[in-house]
Amino acid sequence: MSAELLELTVGEALRRIDGGELSADEYADAYAEAAAEDELNAYLWTRESPFAREGDGTGRTEEPPLRGAPVAVKDLFCAEGIETTAGSRILEGYRPPYTATAVRRLEEAGARLLGKTNMDEFGMGSSTENSGYGPALNPWDRTRVPGGSSGGSAAAVRDRTAPWAIGTDTGGSIRQPAALCGVVGLKPTYGAISRYGMIAFASSLDQCGPLTRDVTDAALLLRAMEGRDGCDSTSVGIAGGIELPTREGLEGLRFGVPRELSAEAEGMEAGVAATFERALSTIRDLGGEVDECALPHSAHGLSAYYVLAPAEASANLARYDGVRYGLRADGEVELGAMYERTRSRGFGAEVKRRIMLGTYALSSGYYEAYYGRAQRVRTRIAADFASAFERFDYLLTPTSPTVAFELGARSDNPLAMYMADYCTVPMSLAGIPAISIPCGLAEPDGGGPELPVGLQIAAPAFTESGLLDAAYAVERALGLTATPPGAGP
Ligand code: GLN
C-alpha cells in the first residue's frame, strides 16, 4: 500500500484525502517512514517520531488546504527549535528561535515539516558536494551528483522520500538540481515569496521556490507561500494570486529560443541539445509558435554573477564570528584570534573562496572596476529580457548544459562547476521567473545510461500563473513517466 502511496503527486493525494479514500495521517506517516530510510544523504534532519494525529491540539475546525501533507525543506530555512545549518559546519547546533515565513505559511496552509534537506554550504555550489555533511547522491545513478545547491530537496522528491520540497535559487539552485534529478523546479519572480528566515547568501538574488513531481504541485506550493510579508521589505507577492494550471494547447503563444543559451551555449552536450530540440517540436505540435531570438549580454551572465553573488555573500557571512551562532573555536585566545579560528574551521573551501573574491571585488580601489561593472552588465541582461518579451510570451532553453555529472568530476575545478549555471543565472540576474520541467532522457557525452534533461521556460516578472499553465500543457504533451531504475514498486 505505502509503495503505491509514494507514487502519487500531492495533488492526487489531496483529492483522495478529500474523497475519504486516504487518511492524511496515513499519507504523512508513509513519508515519515520513507524519509527515515533515505539512502541518498538527501536529509540532514528527519523527524524522530510519527506525525501528530490529525486534529491533535491544533483546535482547527476548518480543513486547511494542504491537509497535513508533509513537506521537505532545504536546510537554509530557519525552523524554530530545529537544527538549521545551511549545510555549513559553522552553524552546527544552531537552533533558530523563529521559523521562516515561507515555512510558516506552508504550516498555516496545513503542511507538516517532514525533514531538512542537504545542500551546498550556504547555497554555494551546483552539486551538493560543498555540503559540510557529505554530498547527496543522484537517485538515477548514485555515482553522480543530484545538482545543487538544493540537491537534497531534488533527490528526495525523485527518490520518493518526500512528496514535494522547497529550495532556494540564487543562480539556478532550484532549476538545475530539478533538471538533473528529473523533477519540476520553479524559481519565482524575485519578491514573490518572503525571504525572512532564509539564511542569506546573495540577498538581491535569493528566492525560495518549489521542487515537485509535477507542475500542478508546484502551483499548489507557490500559491501557499507567495505574498507580501512585513518582515521582508522586498517581498510583494503576486497580484491576483496563483491559479492552478489547466491549459491544454499552446495556440496563440509565442516562444523565443535565445541562441546564446541553447545552440551556442558553452559546454552543451549533444544529448541535451537533441532532447531540447524534441521538446521544441512538441511545443510546435501543441500550436505554440517557436522562433529564434537573441539575448546578446546573457553570455556575460556568469561573469557578472560570480562577482555580484560573492560580493553580497562576503557581507552576509560576516555575521558568523563564533559569538552569535553555532560553532566557536575553543581555546584561550583573544577575540580576533577566536574569530579567525572559528571562520577558518567552520567554513568550507568554496565559501572561503567566495568571501575572498567578494571582499576583493568590493575593496575601495576595485569597487568600480568589478562590482560597478557587474551591476551594469546585470542591467543590460535585464534589458535584453525586456526587449525579448516584447516579441515573445516565453523563452525556452535547456536548464543545464549537461546531464548529471559524476561525483568528484568538477570538485577541483570551480570554473567547470560554475558552468553548470550557464543557462539559469541570466534569469536570476533579471529577477524573472523560470521553471524547469523534465523533458526526456539523454546519454552523457562519452556514453552511459540515459539521465534526465530539463526544459527551462522563462517568463516576464509576476506572470507565474501563465508560466505554470504553459508548463502544464507541455508536461502533459510530453507525458513523461520515467522514473529512476530500481526505484518504486
Ligand atoms: N551554483 C550557483 C552558485 O554556486 C547558484 C547557487 C544558488 O542558486 N544558490 O552560486
Cβ neighbours for 87, distance < 8 A, ≥ 6 positions apart: 44, 75, 76, 118, 119, 120, 121, 122, 123, 130, 131, 132, 133, 149
Q: Which of 400, 397, 392 is nearest to 460 (CA)?
A: 392
pLDDT at 487: 47
Atom of ligand 1 nearest to the CA of 150: 9
| Residue 96 Cβ < 6 Å to ligand 1 | no
d(CA 311, CA 118): 24
Domain 2-297+381-478 is found in CATH 3.90.1300.10: yes
pLDDT in tens, 83-105: 999 999 999 999 999 999 999 99
pLDDT at 486: 52
Report the number of secondary-structure helices (H) and strands (E) in the chain.
16, 11
| Residue 209 Cβ < 6 Å to ligand 1 | no
pLDDT at 330: 77
pLDDT in tens, 413-444: 999 999 999 999 999 999 999 999 999 999 99
Atom of ligand 1 nearest to the CA of 306: 10
pLDDT at 369: 94
d(CA 229, CA 382): 25
Distances (CA, A) of 166 to 217, 394, 461, 466: 11, 24, 20, 21
Pocket mutation for ligand 1, best pick of 149, 166, 456 (most atoms within 8 Å of C-beta): 149
pLDDT in tens, 141-153: 999 999 999 999 9
Q: Which of 432, 449, 488, 9 is nearest to 211 (CA)?
A: 9
Q: How far is the CA of 173 from the centre of ligand 1 (A)?
A: 5
Q: Residues 150, 109: contact at Cβ < 8 Å?
A: no
pLDDT in tens, 327-354: 888 767 799 999 999 999 999 999 999 9
Q: Which of 396, 400, 393 is nearest to 465 (CA)?
A: 393
Q: How far is the CA of 421 from the centre of ligand 1 (A)?
A: 7
453, with CB counted inside 10 A (0-12, 13-18, 19+), is: buried
3-state helix, strand, coil split of the chain in percent (to 5) is 40, 15, 45
Average pLDDT for runs of 10 along the chain of length 489:
88 96 95 96 91 57 86 98 97 96 98 98 98 98 98 98 98 98 98 98 98 98 98 97 96 97 92 97 98 97 97 97 87 86 96 97 92 98 98 98 97 92 98 98 94 98 98 92 53
pLDDT at 441: 96
Atom of ligand 1 nearest to the CA of 350: 4
- CA-nearest residue, atom 10 of ligand 1: 124
pLDDT at 488: 41
Q: Which residues are catalytic?
A: 74, 149, 173
Q: How far is the CA of 109 from the centre of ligand 1 (A)?
A: 29
Record the cell numbers describing residue 137, joined without a space: 547522491
| Residue 436 Cβ < 6 Å to ligand 1 | no
Q: How far is the CA of 283 from the centre of ligand 1 (A)?
A: 29
| Residue 235 Cβ < 6 Å to ligand 1 | no
d(CA 214, CA 183): 7
Dihedral angle over CA of 149, 152, 154, 160, nearest 10: 180
Q: How far is the CA of 171 from the centre of ligand 1 (A)?
A: 5
Ordered by start, the domain boundaries in the chain are 2-297+381-478, 298-380
Q: Which of 19, 11, 112 is nearest to 68 (CA)?
A: 112
pLDDT at 484: 65
Atom of ligand 1 nearest to the CA of 125: 4
